[in-house]
């Protein structure tokens, strides 16, 4: 089967591929200017510190999707408008944050897929604590670097 493009609805993709895909049940909010996006996964694990998120999104994205495991914490934002603008400039397709973002209005105007649990105007630490390109598990779904992720308003699918 050929790879679907970013416009293929996740419902149609799941109907076609079924158990080849994991479905994230956690209800992420669509906060970016693009609600449908896809790409190979890159990962960051961090808690209340977005130094690594900023570093990764300031590098060439090549159409990838950054999945950030912030532990589901909403106490500080792990991405705002300036980091998201850098992601756009560097060719990232999207960002999925298991945590909070800020600058919602600005994020909605950027051509970037953004899914997060919510928002908080409080900025995070900048020490760079955490890990990059590690296997993450969020809501029982495994996110491996290089796996394909597909997202739209219906949800998020990830290849096994």
Domains of the chain, start order: 6-159 (3.50.30.40)
CA separation for the pair 78, 148 (Å, rounded): 23
For 98-152, the pLDDT digits (tens) are: 999 999 999 999 999 999 999 999 999 999 999 999 999 999 999 999 999 999 9
β-strands 29-30, 113-119 pairing: antiparallel
For 70-94, the pLDDT digits (tens) are: 999 999 999 999 999 999 999 999 9
Strand, coil or helix: 132: strand
pTM across the whole model = 0.95
> DSSP secondary structure string, 75-120?
SSBS--HHHHHHHHHTT--EEEEEEEE--HHHHHTSSSEEEEEEE-
- Average pLDDT, integer, range 38-52: 98
- Average pLDDT, integer, range 56-74: 98
Start-to-end C-alpha separation, the chain: 16
pLDDT of residue 87: 98
CA separation for the pair 118, 154 (Å, rounded): 17
């Amino acid at each position: 089967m050929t790879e679907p493009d970013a416009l293929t609805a996740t419902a149609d993709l799941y109907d076609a591929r079924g158990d080849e895909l994991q479905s994230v049940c956690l209800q992420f909010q669509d906060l970016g200017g693009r609600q449908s996006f896809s790409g190979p996964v890159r990962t960051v694990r961090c808690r209340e510190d977005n130094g690594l998120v900023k570093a990764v999104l300031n590098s060439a994205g090549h159409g990838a999707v950054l999945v950030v495991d912030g532990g589901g914490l909403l106490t500080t934002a792990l991405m705002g408008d300036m980091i998201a603008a850098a992601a756009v400039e560097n060719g990232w397709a999207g960002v999925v944050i298991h945590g909070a973002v800020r600058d919602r209005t600005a994020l909605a105007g950027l051509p970037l897929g953004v899914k997060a649990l919510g928002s908080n105007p409080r900025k995070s630490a900048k020490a760079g604590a955490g890990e990059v390109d590690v296997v993450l598990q969020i809501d029982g779904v495994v996110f491996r670097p290089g796996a394909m992720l597909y997202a739209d308003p219906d949800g998020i699918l990830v290849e096994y």
